[in-house]
Structure 1
C-alpha cells in the first residue's frame, strides 16, 4: 500500500513538472517522453533497491550514470538539463523513501517550485542569448558591438567571438543582450529569436 502511495506522489509530481510547467513553456514533445521515462525508470529501480542494504549507494550511482549519458547529447539546452535532473531527483527521492513522509513531499515540492520560479518567463524577460554568424569580419570590438546593437535593437551586455574568418569575411559571435521594451510590448522579439539564433552553431577554433 505504501508503494502505491509513493508511486502516486511521484506520478503527480512528474506530471505537474512536465505537463504543467515544461511543455507549456518550451513545447518540446521529445523531451516530454524523456523526462517521463527517466523519472518512472529511476522510480522503479529505486523501489527495488530500497529494500537492499546498498540501495542508496546504487541509487546515487544510477543517478550519476544516467546524468553522464544524457548530458553527452548536443540536443539539450541548459534549462532542459535542469528539468532532466529534476525528473531524476524526483524519481530517486520517491523510490528510496521507505514510506511517503512530509520530508519526501516537501523536497519534491521544493524542486518543482524552484523550477517554476527559475524558468518563469517573467524572470529577466528582456534578457536574451543568441549565437549569430555575421557576413562581415569584425576585428574591432567596438564596431562589432555597435553593429550588433543596431541589428538586435537592444543593449549589448556581453559579446564573445567564437570564430573570426578573414578569408570568407564572416564573424561568429555569442551575444548576450537586453531586448528593447518596445520590442517586448510589440511581440517583435518572438520573431527575431528564430531568425538570428538559427544562423550559426558554436564552432570551436
Structure 2
C-alpha cells in the first residue's frame, strides 16, 4: 500500500506538475526508507521517538537548501507522512488506506493549477535602479506582461546599475501556461 501511495504522490502528482527528477527520486527513497525503519522499529519494540527524532533531524538538515521551494517541502512532508502512516498502521490496512487517500487528495487539490495557477513568483534582475516604487512596478508589469501583486527590492548595485527584485504577479488568462 505504501508503494502505491508514494508512486501516486511522486509520479502521479509531483512529477507531472513540476518535472524535477532529482526530487522525484528523493521523495520515493525517503518514503521507502521511513517505511522500512518504522516497520523495523515496531517489530523490534524500540521507542518510536528515536525513529521520529532521527528523521526529524535528517529532514531539517536537507530541507534548509535554498534550491527547494516551500511547495517541494510540502511534498517531502507528505512523503514522510505516507511512510509513517503505512509503517505504523500495518495492522490496520483500512485506516492506512483512508489516511493515504486523504493525504493524496489534499495534495492533489492544494497543488492543482486551477486553484492558484495564475499566480507566479520570480526573482528579476533589472539593468536599471529605480528610486520610485511606482516606476519600478510599471517597468515590471511591462516586462512580465502581468499585474504585479508585490515587488520587494532585494539588492541594488549603483556601480553596475542593477536592481534585483523579488516579484509576485498574476498572469492574464490568455498568457496562462502549464508552467509554474
Please report the TM-score for the alignment, with normalisation by the length of structure 2: 0.92
Q: Whole-Å Cα distance in 1 between the matches of residues 42 and 90 of structure 2? A: 7
| Alignment: residue pair count | 180
Per the alignment, residue 199 of structure 1 pairs with: none
Per the alignment, residue 101 of structure 2 pairs with: 109
* 8 Å CA contact 2:90, 2:96 repeated in 1: no
Per the alignment, residue 94 of structure 1 pairs with: 86
The 4+ residue runs of structure 1 with deviation greater than 6 A are none
SS at match of 1:131: strand
SS at match of 1:122: helix
Unpaired runs of at least 5, structure 1: 1-8, 194-205
Q: Whole-Å Cα distance in 2 between the matches of residues 81 and 36 of structure 1? A: 14
Seen in structure 2, the aligned counterparts of structure 1 residues 106 and 62 have a Cα distance that, compared at 3 Å, is farther
Q: Whole-Å Cα distance in 2 between the matches of residues 141 and 79 of structure 1? A: 29
Unpaired runs of at least 5, structure 2: none
Check if 1:144 corresponds to 2:136. yes
Alignment of 1:1-205 (within 5 A): 9-184=1-176, 187=177
Please report the TM-score for the alignment, with normalisation by the length of structure 1: 0.81
Post-superposition offset of 1:108: 1.6
Q: Whole-Å Cα distance in 2 between the matches of residues 81 and 106 of structure 1? A: 23
